[in-house]
Amino acid sequence: MKKNIAVLPGDGIGPEIIAEAVKVLDKIADKYGHEFEYNYVDIGGCSIDKYGVPITNEGMEICKSSDSVLLGAVGGPKWDNCPPEIRAEKALLAVRKELNLFANLRPTKLFKYLASSSPLKEEVIGGGIDLLIVRELTGGVYFGAKKTENIDGQLVATDIMPYSESEIERIGRVAFETAMKRNKKLTSVDKANVLETSRLWRKTMHRLSNEYPEVEYSDALVDSTAMQLIKNPSQFDVIVTENMFGDILSDEASMLTGSIGMMPSASLSSGTRGMYEPIHGSAPDIAGLNIANPLGTILSAAMMLRYSFDMAEEAEAIERAVDKVLDEGYRTGDIMQENCKKVTCSEMGTLVANKL
């Protein structure tokens, strides 16, 4: 099978971690008889330096014509003072909009070999942590109308949080279908005791649940969910929620594992194309030192194979390879433990590729 992948290394450690993911994808292609064609695109600060914009029209067209997008990281202090309309992060919003990426999938898995890195007590994580947050990505308060006006002599700011029934149904179907592929358990998170948008959210999700009788469905309030993620995270399998709640809860969940460098993510459209990236930033302080953790990016590539290319076997092979490397005690600096073997970014990528 031949697939065209738009590769966006970006800034900071982005090029280093992307190189290791490509190394692993090349090994998959050799082993399973696929052909991956990589089309590289500048994005973020490096694109601002070269072209004066965070992504060019030509670069966007490459993303739109690809089968999927693999992203490293964007931004850094160097570009913090750029005008708002050309900030490095603007490119991410532009790609999401142009590719209609409305569903963000953020898995949180605690590898047993890294259990001591979790901030939670052993008795709390004894059942393991393996959950997936499905976040609506293009609606809600982040994209609603905003204004600041002077009323009675003081500034008053307003942010509108709109959601249509169709937007909720669209992300709800992604969540139910994802639950069907996992353990058939779904928790929908809202604030229906206060917000009108959440009441519509809950009503729509209840209607959808009738179409998926095999899925164990439940509702939860966002503040309660935030507490339960700390108290008993193993009770969750798939969580679906709106944009702002998902932004907050997914960041909270990622820290349960003790290392943000291990966490992949996927942003999906209604078709098969998606954008895949680790959840960490560009880490400019360690850029070029070959010490970054590439596993989040490698696992993001595995998600690309599973969700965009329908290559479940190949995705599982990568995940098993990562598991084996960790089992043998290899660690990058951010996940280093006593009696383990410290390796560089490129060495970690080679180790995973060789396990394939």
Strand 264-268 with 103-109, pairing: antiparallel
Choice among 30, 159, 223, 310 that is catalytic: 223
Give residue for tokens 């206060």.
Answer: 194
Separation CA 276–CA 283 (nearest Å): 18
Q: What is the DSSP letter of 4?
A: E
Q: Is 142 a catalytic residue?
A: yes
Choice among 42, 191, 217, 307 that is catalytic: 191
Residue-by-residue DSSP string for 217-261: EEEEEHHHHHHHHHH-GGG-SEEEE-HHHHHHHHHHHHGGGS-GG
Q: How far is CA 60 from CA 6, 93, 101, in A?
A: 10, 12, 14
Separation CA 47–CA 239 (nearest Å): 35
Give residue for tokens 């690309």.
Answer: 304
SS3 185: strand
Q: Is 247 a catalytic residue?
A: yes
Q: Is 223 a catalytic residue?
A: yes
Using alpha carbons only, what angle is made at residue 278 by residues 271 and 90, rounded to the nearest 5 degrees?
75
Look up residue 78 and give its two tokens.
């160097």
Choice among 26, 130, 251, 323 that is catalytic: 251
Residue-by-residue DSSP string for 9-72: EESTTHHHHHHHHHHHHHHHHHHHT-EEEEEE---THHHHHHHSSSS-HHHHHHHHHSSEEEEE
Q: How far is CA 23 from CA 17, 266, 312, in A?
A: 10, 20, 19
SS3 125: helix
Q: Is 42 a catalytic residue?
A: no
Q: Is 191 a catalytic residue?
A: yes
Choice among 42, 190, 247, 334 that is catalytic: 247
Backbone phi, psi, residue 89, to 5°: -70, -20
Choice among 32, 40, 51, 142 that is catalytic: 142
> Which residues are annotated as catalytic?
142, 191, 223, 247, 251
